[in-house]
Amino acid sequence: MVTTSAAGLQAETKLPNMAVELVTLHTDNYSEMLVFYRDVLKLEVAFEQGEFANFVSTPTNLGLVSRSGMLETLGDSGFDGTRTGSGVGLGFYFDTDAQVDEAYAEIVDRGARVVSEPTKMPWGEYIGFFSDPDGNVHEFVSREKH
């Protein structure tokens, strides 16, 4: 935000301290995405109405909404195009490499698409990548020090 002083000089003002408390995925594939986040990742549904769901995930909740629902609600053409590729990547953190391995194996058994099996990355983190039905690539990350 920019403000103008009495002398006519522009100065930047800071926004209040903000925290991301909700990330919402917009999808053309609401039913399959709902099943993925609810039944494959086992996120608890806190609220669902029509084609909108809010999942409990501390500290940031996850929302899921159909793009057609957003277009209908807002009337904005930004929701009517075709999206391709990975639109967003979510990181889910675990305390140990073993926890990443266990959780990764479980979601793959339940139908998650493997992108890259858990492995130590060149920058030192231990990460396994997978994708949701829309092709968004997410990761399970270990906080274990290497």
d(CA 82, CA 138): 21
- pTM beyond 0.85: the answer is no
Helices assigned H by DSSP within 1-140: 30-35, 67-74, 97-109
Provide the CA 108 distance to its chain's centre, in angstroms. Answer: 18
Tokens 């130590």 appear where? 120
Mean pLDDT of 46-60: 92
pLDDT at 58: 84
Tokens 């990443």 appear where? 100
Domain with CATH 3.10.180.10 in the chain: 20-76, 86-146
d(CA 108, CA 118): 12
Q: How far is CA 33 from each of CA 75, 87, 131, rounded to the nearest angstrom? A: 23, 14, 11
User: Residue 75 — pLDDT band, cuts 50, 70, 90?
Assistant: confident
86-146 folds as: 2,3-Dihydroxybiphenyl 1,2-Dioxygenase; domain 1 (3.10.180)
Flag whether pLDDT at 39 surpasses 80: yes
User: Residue 27 — pLDDT band, cuts 50, 70, 90?
Assistant: very high
- Give the rounded percent of residues in the chain with a pLDDT score beyond 90: 62
Nearest to 140 by CA among 108, 122, 61, 85: 108
- Second CATH level (architecture) for the domain 20-76: Roll (3.10)
Q: What is the pLDDT of residues 110-127, one digit of tens each?
A: 999 999 999 999 999 999
